Amino acid sequence: MRAAYHLGMKLLYGVVGEGMGHATRSRVVIEHLLSKGHEVRVVVSGRAHRFLKERLPASDRLSVEEIDGLTLTYEDNRVDRSESLIRNLKAAPAAIKKNVEVYRRVVETGFAPELVFSDFESWAALYARNHFLPVVSIDNMQVINRCRHSRQIKRQGGTDYRLAKLAVKSKLPGAYHYLVTSFFFPPVRKKRTTLVPPILRPEVIDAKREPGQHVLVYQTSTSNEALVDELKRLPYEFRVYGMGRSGEDRNLMFREFSETGFVDDLRTARAVIAGGGFSLMSEAVSLHVPMLSVPLERQFEQTLNAQYLSELGYGQWVPELTAGAVRGFLDRLPEFTRSLARYERHDNAMLFACVDELIERCGAGDKRPVRLAAAAMGKYPDA
């Protein structure tokens, strides 16, 4: 048996700001760490900074620092790689200066973390490398590199798959351990990798499924009027989030974002239409709500999520949203509902047990564990 680790470890937690899913799940993990008596310093970029500042509880054991991170530019439901590169290059000098100031502030305040967590965030990983600290990765992206996928998925992904795998592989190399959140569980192919269920907000865990007649629509472009025109052609009620306005237009009800209102509309929806982002998709699967996914072009992670969604029978994915695609999807709802009934809902207990074990192992000075003792949805070698 290992010696008991000391309580109240100092932890650095990095959260990438591209996409709010990283922030919502990091909030859950950080609250757990605080409940265990640890001291946590968070570094976070983008909109995720404001979210965590507002949602995390006030505590003298918590501080949240804003850094600058990379951003992606989208056009017509695809990633514009050239524009993304140009924007990030232009912003680089100011971003580097700001991040160096935060780095110096963390060092000069005497905060000496003993372990670093990273939700696909590089600043904290760089800090860990420079200070010879272990890093625990918690995200869904590592499933691309650390799990085995079918030849069909890799063939369909083509260049996008190869680029995504290279990017993910280089993001957090040599971590102490990788906790990969997922609603699909392919065989683990790399050591120090553990699959756990999706990290769910308490509001989603507590939500009760009560299917109604409306279809929930979530999209991220406020100028996507083509989507509005397609939905108006259909004889269904749609509750639309992400358009930046509220009010009714025939069979469409536009909603301003509200965390409580959104979860309520999700749990009572007959179905959901959205992109291929992991967080909403995993919440829909957990609540047994069939989903029509329209992943962003050139964003392989979203395509991968959508492919597994379809393969498991939890919904359908299409490259372009049309009235015909929506009709065909809604006609198959009984089929998707039967498949979703076989998905076992989980709370966050499995993840928390893995996190606590890793902290204990680090505190005891253990080497990087190939496998964890805690229960999981997949380990190396896959059982």
Sheet harboring 271-274: ordered strands across?
A: 247-249, 252-255, 238-241, 215-218, 271-274, 291-293, 315-317
d(CA 20, CA 16): 9
Helical (H) or strand (E) element with 316: strand 315-317
What residue spans define the domains of the chain?
A: 10-201+347-379, 203-340
Is the pLDDT at 82 greater than 60? The verdict is: no
Residue range 24-33, pLDDT digits in tens? 999 999 999 9
Q: Tell me if the domain spanning 203-340 has CATH number 3.40.50.2000.
A: yes
Is the pLDDT at 360 greater than 70? The verdict is: yes
Cβ–Cβ contacts within 10 Å for residue 6, how many? 10
Share of residues in the chain with pLDDT > 70 (%): 84
What CATH class is the domain 10-201+347-379? alpha beta
pLDDT band at residue 67, thresholds of 50, 70 and 90?
Answer: confident
Q: Supply the pLDDT for residue 91.
A: 44
Q: Contact at 8 Å (CB) between 330 and 236?
A: yes
Is the pLDDT at 313 greater than 90? The verdict is: yes
Q: Supply the pLDDT for residue 104.
A: 57
* Same CATH fold assignment for domains 10-201+347-379 and 203-340: yes
Q: Supply the pLDDT for residue 97.
A: 52
